[in-house]
Structure 1
Amino acid sequence: MAVIASAPGKVLLTGGYLILDRPNAGLVLSTTARFYAILKPLYEELKPESWAWTWTDVKVTSPQLMRESMYKLSLKDLTLQCASSSESRNPFVEHAVEYAVAAAHATLDNHKKATFEKLLLQGLDITILGSNDFYSYRNQIEARGLPLTPEALAALPPFTSITFNTEGSNGENCKPEVAKTGLGSSAAMTTAVVAALLHYLGVVNLNFSVRDQLENGKDDFDVIHVIAQSAHCIAQGKVGSGFDVSSAVYGSQRYVRFSPEVLASAQVSLCLSPACPVMILLQK
């Protein structure tokens, strides 16, 4: 069983830094650019000795960055340990996995826990893909001898490989970085991974139309928002404005920031286990 979830990017039209202070409002639009998370079992069959395992495997693949990371997920405290090179780590995906799995563990009843544990023992195979609009492809377009126009960007194949900038503004070599366009790629990616995991593990049900989602699925979207918002803030090391994650979950909206104290308390308790702040947030 494979699950594909996606989340849009964002553009903040009005509000700017004013939205950091409640109750100031901003107008945020979701974009056609989307991040996709494809989730499936890493192993088709359970191994006979899996009942005694205390860890399970998680593989995260980013074809556009030509990166693959392997992790060990503790079945005791639900934390990830990277088994690959530190250069291939993605903190946004890591915290999305930890928080989504912890949310499933904290909310599923005993009847669903058996299925949850089986899915974890089969391992998690996660592939992430982002629309080309999230990134700058200036180098690739110029290499093809094309003009720097929207039409040239649209001519690139979907999910084109991303090159790294290795030269700073002063001409010196620097740590490789991905050139982004500011559409909220990390928020969209985090939200897509959280949504895919929560659906895959049985916490939410996203198998309905957009109209049904708005009329009947708000509780599921609220759970996705809580987990994605928390994971994103922990990954970036601060409680931000939150409008990028909010628009990734709910779409275009008039946005008023949540109370930052809600996530601040979760960050303080993170030293215990992802499950601890998840319980705090789900009870808000």
Structure 2
Amino acid sequence: MAVLASAPGKVLMTGGYLVLERPNAGIVLSTNARFYAIVKPLYDEIRPESWAWGWTDVKLTSPQMSRETMYKLSLKHLKLQPVSSSGSRNPFVEHAVQYAVAAAHATLDKDKKDTLQRLLLQGLDITILGCNEFYSYRNQIEARGLPLTPKSLASLPPFASITFNAEESTGENRKPEVAKTGLGSSAAMTTAVVAALLHYLGVVNLSSLDEDQLQGKKDVADLDVVHVIAQTAHCIAQGKVGSGFDVSSAVYGSQRYIRFSPEVLSSVQNAGMATPLIEVIDDVLKAKWDHERTKFSLPPLMTLLLGEPGCGGSSTPSMVGAVKKWQRSNPQDSLETWRRLSEGNSALEAHLNTLSKLAERHYNAYECIINACSLLPAEKWLERANEPTQAEIVKELLGARDAMLRIRYQMRKMGEAAGIPIEPESQSQLLDATMNMEGILLAGIPGAGGFDAVFAVTLGASSKNVTQAWSSLNVLAMLVREDPHGVALENNDPRAKEITTAVSSIQLE
């Protein structure tokens, strides 16, 4: 019986850099770009002698990368040993497998241990698939002579094969890297694999994830287990304890997030070879995870748009390193910049929350003024407010814009001080041009900034005009939208669909 789980990619709208330190919050939106993991038995039968074996087989397939790796999994130490591989290894999936199996051993009671042993002896067959939106297909579109439009992106086959970035122009040979769009593919992939395995091995039951549970009104204990194991696997595979907002949004969906204390992972970081993995994972599951998350999503009639400027992505870890170095060398200035950034983030969050409440209370007035503003540049919005409620809505819209401009100013300042391109000049020009278009509420750089995708939040039906304007500026509007849902069990193999849901839900011009 196959289990198929999926987890979304993310856009960190506010909280870049700040979210690394408690108690700063970040607003992270989950997207319709999802990673899928399919787990099924490798063998139909268990051979009679297999009960005496000390290991079992694990097969990992990534069709988009044309990679297949066979492993032996030690049933005693729960360590994976690669036997054969058609490409480089995937530490995220390897840690996900080891930790998920360890979590099953640590949590399942005696009568379920036999079932677990049987499932493991049948071997694990794992396939991973990422939506096209995680990767840059700009080169293929240009090579085909197609225009830089969402329609061209939609014409690519779902889960298209991924080409690797060519060598640097300096001619140096580099390890081939996949051209990514900055949606958090490793976090979504790790989360999908952990969720699929924990469900398959009987540790959690994700089939009961209904709307109420996702909105946090019910016990989300099963999701919490997925979260802890996915965070642990992701951090250890990455070699550092990041803020974890990407994994949190992959598990729970869009949210306002405050990071966990890094100490919760000290037992797994300090575990020597002699410490059994089951004990380590048991410690992590029992640790006091103190992250905070509050439900958040964009107000109604607003659309998240992402544009790929085609300057190649940036290395987030090296940018974070530069910012930390600047903080150490200039504590006073950096504190002041962070304080102002934090104020801007809080202000933006407050305006968006107020807009959501106003939409709930006065939907007709809200819809009317949003649609009117969608046709005009921001300086003309107030002229269209015909009564006090509409004027109040416009005031909040303009407040959100102002907060975004303050955030961008402080981010640029921080980049200049730290000597890194957080909002490079080319991105500034693009964002300013975008902010001046009709019906644009916000434009900014998500997360750590650099040359990754830019984002915009549009009002009403104005996103169509933005995608056309971006295309003329050599920016490819991606097929990414906000989807506030986190991890999910899927019924069908996504490859069976003729067109990915991400594409079919978008009206193409």
Normalised to the residue count of structure 2, the TM-score between the two structures is: 0.54
Moved more, 39-48 or 209-218: 209-218
Q: What residue is the counterpart of 1:72 in the other structure?
A: 72
Q: 2:169 and 2:219 mapped to 1: Cα distance?
A: 47
Q: Is the 8 A contact 2:68 2:87 kept in 1?
A: no
Moved more, 164-173 or 134-143: 164-173
Q: Is the 8 A contact 2:56 2:74 kept in 1?
A: yes
Q: Do residues 282 (structure 1) and 297 (structure 2) align?
A: no
Q: 1:90 and 1:136 mapped to 2: Cα distance?
A: 20
> Aligned-pair distance for 1:208?
2.1
Q: What residue is the counterpart of 1:226 in the other structure?
A: 228
Q: What residue is the counterpart of 2:186 in the other structure?
A: 186
- The code of the aligned residue for 1:74 comes to S
Q: Is the 8 A contact 1:14 1:26 kept in 2?
A: yes
Moved more, 171-180 or 208-217: 208-217
1:203-218 matches, within 5 Å, as 203-214=203-214, 215-218=217-220
> Aligned-pair distance for 1:153?
1.2
Q: Is the 8 A contact 1:266 1:277 kept in 2?
A: yes
What is the RMSD computed on CA atoms of the aligned residues? 1.4
Q: What residue is the counterpart of 2:104 in the other structure?
A: 104
Q: What residue is the counterpart of 2:168 in the other structure?
A: 168
Secondary structure, in 3 states, of the residue corresponding to 2:76?
A: coil
Q: What residue is the counterpart of 1:198 in the other structure?
A: 198
Q: Do residues 132 (structure 1) and 132 (structure 2) align?
A: yes
Q: Do residues 251 (structure 1) and 238 (structure 2) align?
A: no
What do the CA deviations read for 1:109-129 (whole angstroms, capped 9, x no partner)?
011111000000000000000
Q: 1:142 and 1:275 mapped to 2: Cα distance?
A: 50
- The code of the aligned residue for 1:279 comes to D
Q: What residue is the counterpart of 2:238 in the other structure?
A: 236
Q: 1:67 and 1:202 mapped to 2: Cα distance?
A: 28
Q: 2:137 and 2:202 mapped to 1: Cα distance?
A: 38
Q: 2:54 and 2:212 mapped to 1: Cα distance?
A: 39
Q: What residue is the counterpart of 2:269 in the other structure?
A: 267
> Aligned-pair distance for 1:246?
0.3
Moved over 6 A (4+): none
Q: Do residues 47 (structure 1) and 47 (structure 2) align?
A: yes
> Aligned-pair distance for 1:86?
8.1
Q: Quick one: percent identity of the two aligned structures? A: 76
What do the CA deviations read for 1:3-34 (whole angstroms, capped 9, x no partner)?
00000000000011111111110100001000
Q: Is the 8 A contact 2:68 2:85 kept in 1?
A: no
Q: 2:110 and 2:161 mapped to 1: Cα distance?
A: 43
- The code of the aligned residue for 2:264 comes to V
- Tell me how many residue pairs correspond in the alignment: 284
Q: Is the 8 A contact 1:247 1:253 kept in 2?
A: yes
Which runs of no fewer than 5 residues in structure 2 stay unpaired? 288-509
Secondary structure, in 3 states, of the residue corresponding to 1:166?
A: coil
Q: 1:270 and 1:195 mapped to 2: Cα distance?
A: 26
Secondary structure, in 3 states, of the residue corresponding to 1:175?
A: coil
What do the CA deviations read for 1:190-214 (whole angstroms, capped 9, x no partner)?
0000000000000000112432533
Q: Do residues 122 (structure 1) and 125 (structure 2) align?
A: no
The 1:86/1:270 distance shift into structure 2, 3 A limit, reads farther
Q: 2:159 and 2:86 mapped to 1: Cα distance?
A: 24
Moved more, 151-160 or 69-78: 151-160
Secondary structure, in 3 states, of the residue corresponding to 1:129?
A: strand
Moved more, 218-227 or 149-158: 149-158
Q: 2:183 and 2:168 mapped to 1: Cα distance?
A: 22
Which runs of no fewer than 5 residues in structure 1 stay unpaired? none
- The code of the aligned residue for 2:236 comes to I
Q: Higher strand proportion, which one?
A: 1
Q: Is the 8 A contact 2:106 2:279 kept in 1?
A: no
Q: 2:169 and 2:71 mapped to 1: Cα distance?
A: 35
- The code of the aligned residue for 1:196 comes to A
Q: 1:221 and 1:198 mapped to 2: Cα distance?
A: 10
Q: Higher helix proportion, which one?
A: 2
> Aligned-pair distance for 1:169?
4.0
Q: What residue is the counterpart of 1:61 in the other structure?
A: 61
